[in-house]
Amino acid sequence: MIAVDTSTLVAFLAGDPGRDVEALDLAFAQSQALLPPVVVTEALSAANAPARLRDLLAGLPMLALTDGYWDRAGSLRRRILAKGHRAALADTLIAQVCIDHEVPLLTRDADFKHFAKVGGLALV
């Protein structure tokens, strides 16, 4: 199982090339793709979101938030910011739900490398 970040999902829907897009295509074919809840919000809030996006997202299982999630996310973001790295709130929330479920994240967003280094996020 892998969690899908908005950056890879957008690239996939646009038909962009890339190893992440190929991995996502394979994950879809094998029913191995999962969604962090924040990715649903990010994807559906885009002004240019394709019409088929809602159907695609509805067909994917979503990672559940577990007890203590918000505290752990705040702590994770604080640790990354303390190291002088960028830690967008949405990225933090995506990273934390993946860490909680021990699910690697498929992304093309380089900012997640800080979550991997500091917080133990597994990246595909």
Q: Domain-by-domain residue ranges, the chain? A: 2-119
Q: Where are the beta strands (DSSP E) in 21-64?
A: 33-34
Determine the pLDDT at residue 54: 84
DSSP E strands, the chain: 2-4, 33-34, 105-106
Pairing of strands 105-106, 33-34: unpaired
2-119 has CATH 3.40.50.1010 classification: yes
pLDDT of 11-63, one tens digit each? 998 899 999 999 999 999 999 999 999 999 999 998 777 778 888 898 899 99
* pTM given for the model: 0.93
Interatomic CA distance for residues 79 and 83, integer angstroms: 7
